[in-house]
């Protein structure tokens, strides 16, 4: 059975999605989780873009040792040199060079002839090859380019040393048959193709990214580029979890394997959603909240009798925690510790003590504490570890007759207790105004959403917000059984990120 190389581009193409803003620490945290997930290659960023993107790629290269760490570069010398600087410390470094190859890109964007583009591709792959062995090349917009020209470019870059050639459907235009034909054509018409791995990189503008990727694997491609939760430019990239689970579930059809530890999928999905602020739609395949819930009576009856009647995958295979009662008010430290270990958490003593305290407070307010509640609670604790201002108290008064009023108390970085109050158009507005009076950093709230973690009136509410300051977006999340408290926590989380970014920028 052939192995498919999983190339994860969550930190590069995924982070390019509108509103995606991860700091260096968050990128490192995701890279570590991708390593646990077992991806073969992490595309960590485009180092030429900014100092912080360079720093993120460099730190991932030095700390995440099992997968190959790849940096993206346009086909220009400065990009390639900078990419090499960022990945040279990796155990397995790769440089990925890309260049537009369709006439649409050549005429309207690059304003260069096919001969000029061919020479740029060849010479820039050769430049990268001077630095390292593992070089990937992508002819951008390949699915709208003339196939004969793609064959010509691929032959030239393989001769120049490319070890992987990646075929992007950059604008998500191709259909499965058409894209599969292109891949098959490449195997038939590029004479030196046996010296390189053929990869595919599909976008989801027509909802076909996963279908196009899977068809390419059928036609001989052996690397697939994808992102967690399918995040990425516009409608996103092919979703890693869908491709991997299709290969695993339909092994009879594909006859392929991957190195992915599928039990880490759900946790990775949650982490990426948490840190990027991109929520996962409930009906999303494999990781959506409804992906394994059965609503119709006939389906429920079947699943109780034998899960295979309506479930093609066992939720445990992707690491989805059970949603039944696991702990309650009377559960002790030992039971909580055991449950955390079963869910895959190993916390330091200090973190455990904080989490246990939070669990006790939650169990006082909420009768049934489920695995999903515990996950939300741990995420909430982790969010507050390195904060500048800490939310100590929040008090709200609202209703259809009074003026919404909020009072908040924060602890400053120096340990000072700071309190203030404000009126607002609504209770959340009042809370945010009161916080603003203390922190005093101008910003605009651009997004606010709230959802419940589990069913029931006493469920934990999770609030996601985005704020904008000087053209940069910061996301924030907060969870609590009281949605006004959750809103205050989310705002503090976003503000603390903003303050940390300002400190780093000097
Ligand atoms: O979509 C695309 O073409 C890309 C390339 C950089 C591979 O992201
Ligand atoms: Zn892309």
| Mean pLDDT across 6-26 | 89
Q: Which of 8, 137, 142, 203 to mutate to test the pocket of ligand 1 (most atoms within 8 A of CB)?
A: 203
| Mean pLDDT across 185-214 | 98
Whether the per-residue pLDDT at 324 is higher than 60: the answer is no
| Mean pLDDT across 107-118 | 97
Percent of the chain with pLDDT over 90: 74
Cα 102 to middle of ligand 2, angstroms = 15
Residue nearest to atom 3 of ligand 1 (CA): 170
What atom in ligand 1 is closest to the CA of residue 203? 1
| Mean pLDDT across 58-66 | 98
Whether the per-residue pLDDT at 125 is higher than 80: the answer is yes
Residue nearest to atom 5 of ligand 1 (CA): 140
Residue nearest to atom 2 of ligand 1 (CA): 170
Cα 203 to middle of ligand 2, angstroms = 6
| Mean pLDDT across 95-104 | 98
What phi and psi values does residue 437 have, to the nearest 5 degrees? -65, -30
C-alpha distances (whole Å) from 416 to each of 384, 411, 438 are 17, 6, 12
d(CA 239, CA 227): 5
Report which bound ligand comes closest to the CA of 226: 2
What atom in ligand 1 is closest to the CA of residue 171? 1
d(CA 137, CA 150): 12
Q: What is the pLDDT of residue 17?
A: 84
Where is average pLDDT lowest: 19-33, 38-52, 424-438? 19-33
What phi and psi values does residue 452 have, to the nearest 5 degrees? -95, 145
Cα 168 to middle of ligand 1, angstroms = 6
Highest average pLDDT, of 172-181, 326-335, 349-358, 361-370, comes from 172-181
- Tokens, residue 262: 């599928």
Whether the per-residue pLDDT at 150 is higher than 80: the answer is yes
Bridge partners of residue 7, in order along the sequence: 41, 225
Convert the pLDDT of each residue in 74-86 to its tens digit.
999 999 999 999 9
> pLDDT class for 343, splitting at 50, 70, 90?
confident
Report which bound ligand comes closest to the CA of 236: 2
| Mean pLDDT across 432-453 | 94
Instruction: Tell me which H or E stretch contains 246.
Output: helix 240-249
d(CA 156, CA 161): 9
Report which bound ligand comes closest to the CA of 71: 1
Cα 226 to middle of ligand 2, angstroms = 9
Q: What is the pLDDT of residue 401?
A: 85
Convert the pLDDT of each residue in 354-411 to its tens digit.
899 999 988 888 877 888 888 888 888 877 767 899 999 999 999 988 899 999 999 9
**Residues having CB within 6 Å of any atom of ligand 1:** 13, 98, 138, 140, 166, 168, 170, 201, 203
- Tokens, residue 50: 């900014």
d(CA 442, CA 273): 26
d(CA 63, CA 91): 9
Whether the per-residue pLDDT at 289 is higher than 90: the answer is no
Cα 13 to middle of ligand 1, angstroms = 8
Task: Give first-to-last CA distance, the chain, whole Å.
Answer: 53
**Residue 297 vs residue 46, higher pLDDT:** 46
Show the beta-strand stretches assigned E in 170-240.
Answer: 197-202, 223-226
Residue nearest to atom 6 of ligand 1 (CA): 98
Report which bound ligand comes closest to the CA of 174: 1
> pLDDT class for 39, splitting at 50, 70, 90?
very high
466: exposed, middle or buried (Cβ count in 10 Å: 0-12, 13-18, 19+): buried
Q: What is the pLDDT of residue 266?
A: 94
Q: What is the pLDDT of residue 277?
A: 86
282: exposed, middle or buried (Cβ count in 10 Å: 0-12, 13-18, 19+): exposed
3-class DSSP assignment, residue 373? helix
Q: What is the pLDDT of residue 301?
A: 80
Whether the per-residue pLDDT at 498 is higher than 70: the answer is yes
Q: Which of 168, 198, 212 to mutate to test the pocket of ligand 1 (most atoms within 8 A of CB)?
A: 168
**Residue 18 vs residue 135, higher pLDDT:** 135
Report which bound ligand comes closest to the CA of 101: 1
Report the relative pairing of strands 472-480 and 135-140 from DSSP bridges: unpaired
Convert the pLDDT of each residue in 218-246 to its tens digit.
999 999 999 999 999 999 999 999 999 99
Contacts 24+ apart (CB under 8 A), 249-254: 249/312, 249/313, 251/1, 254/214, 254/217, 254/218
DSSP-assigned letters across all residues of 19-40:
T----HHHHHHHHHHHHHHT-S
What atom in ligand 1 is closest to the CA of residue 237? 1
| Mean pLDDT across 454-466 | 86
What atom in ligand 1 is closest to the CA of residue 12? 8
Whether the per-residue pLDDT at 134 is higher than 80: the answer is yes
Residue whose pair of structure tokens reads 């991806």 in the numeric block: 39
Cα 23 to middle of ligand 1, angstroms = 22
| Mean pLDDT across 339-354 | 85
Average pLDDT, the chain: 93
Bridge partners of residue 406, in order along the sequence: 396, 422
Report the relative pairing of strands 68-74 and 93-100 from DSSP bridges: parallel
> pLDDT class for 454, splitting at 50, 70, 90?
confident
Highest average pLDDT, of 277-281, 335-339, 433-437, 464-468, comes from 433-437
Its pTM stands at 0.84
- DSSP collapsed to 3 states, 69-117: EEEEEECCHHHHHHHHHHHCCCCCEEEEEEEECCHHHHHHHHCCCHHHH
What atom in ligand 1 is closest to the CA of residue 141? 3
Selection from 49, 59, 141, 77 nearest residue 104 by Cα: 141
Residue nearest to atom 4 of ligand 1 (CA): 170
Q: Which of 10, 13, 79, 137 to mutate to test the pocket of ligand 1 (most atoms within 8 A of CB)?
A: 13
């Amino acid at each position: 059975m052939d192995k498919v190389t999983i190339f994860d581009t969550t930190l590069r193409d995924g982070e390019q999605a509108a509103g995606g803003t991860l700091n260096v620490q968050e990128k490192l945290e995701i890279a570590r989780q991708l390593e646990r997930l077992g991806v073969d290659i992490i595309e960590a960023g485009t180092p030429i873009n900014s100092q912080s993107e360079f720093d993120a790629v460099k730190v991932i290269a030095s700390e995440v040792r099992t997968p190959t760490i790849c940096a993206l570069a346009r086909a220009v010398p400065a990009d390639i040199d900078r990419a090499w600087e960022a990945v040279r410390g990796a155990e397995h470094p790769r440089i990925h060079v890309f260049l537009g190859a369709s006439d649409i890109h050549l005429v309207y964007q690059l304003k260069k002839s096919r001969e000029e583009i061919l020479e740029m591709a060849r010479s820039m792959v050769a430049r990268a090859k001077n630095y390292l062995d593992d070089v990937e090349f992508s002819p951008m917009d390949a699915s709208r380019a003339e196939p004969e020209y793609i064959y010509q470019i691929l032959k030239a870059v393989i001769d120049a040393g490319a070890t992987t050639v990646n075929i992007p459907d950059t604008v998500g235009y191709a259909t499965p048959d058409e894209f599969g034909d292109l891949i098959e054509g490449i195997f038939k018409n590029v004479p030196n193709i046996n010296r390189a791995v053929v990869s595919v990189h599909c976008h989801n503008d027509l909802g076909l990214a996963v279908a196009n990727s899977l068809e390419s694997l059928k036609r001989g491609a052996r690397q697939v580029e994808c992102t967690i939760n399918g995040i990425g430019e516009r409608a996103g990239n092919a979703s890693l979890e869908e491709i991997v689970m299709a290969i695993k579930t339909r092994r009879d059809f594909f006859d392929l394997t991957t190195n992915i530890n599928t039990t880490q999928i759900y946790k990775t999905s949650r982490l990426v959603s948490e840190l990027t602020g991109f929520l996962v739609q409930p009906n999303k395949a494999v990781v959506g909240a409804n992906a394994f819930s059965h609503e119709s009576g006939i389906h429920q009856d079947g699943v109780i009798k034998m899960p295979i009647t309506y479930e093609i995958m066992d939720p445990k295979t992707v690491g989805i925690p059970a949603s039944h009662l696991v702990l309650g008010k009377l559960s002790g430290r030992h039971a909580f510790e055991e449950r955390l270990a079963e869910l895959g958490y190993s916390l330091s003593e200090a973190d455990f003590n904080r989490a246990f305290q939070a669990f006790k407070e939650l169990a006082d307010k909420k009768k049934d504490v489920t695995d999903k509640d515990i996950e939300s609670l741990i995420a909430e604790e982790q969010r507050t570890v390195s904060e500048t201002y800490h939310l100590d108290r929040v008090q709200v008064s609202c209703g259809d007759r009074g003026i919404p009023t909020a009072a908040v108390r924060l602890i400053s970085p120096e340990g000072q207790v700071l309190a203030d109050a404000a009126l607002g158009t609504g209770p959340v507005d009042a809370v945010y105004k009161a916080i603003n009076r203390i922190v005093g950093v101008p910003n605009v709230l651009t997004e606010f959403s709230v959802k419940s973690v589990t069913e029931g009136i006493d469920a934990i509410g999770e609030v996601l917000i985005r704020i904008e300051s000087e053209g940069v977006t910061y996301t924030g999340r907060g969870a609590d059984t009281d949605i006004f408290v959750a809103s205050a926590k989310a705002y503090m989380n976003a503000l603390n990120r903003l303050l940390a970014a300002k400190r780093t920028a000097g």
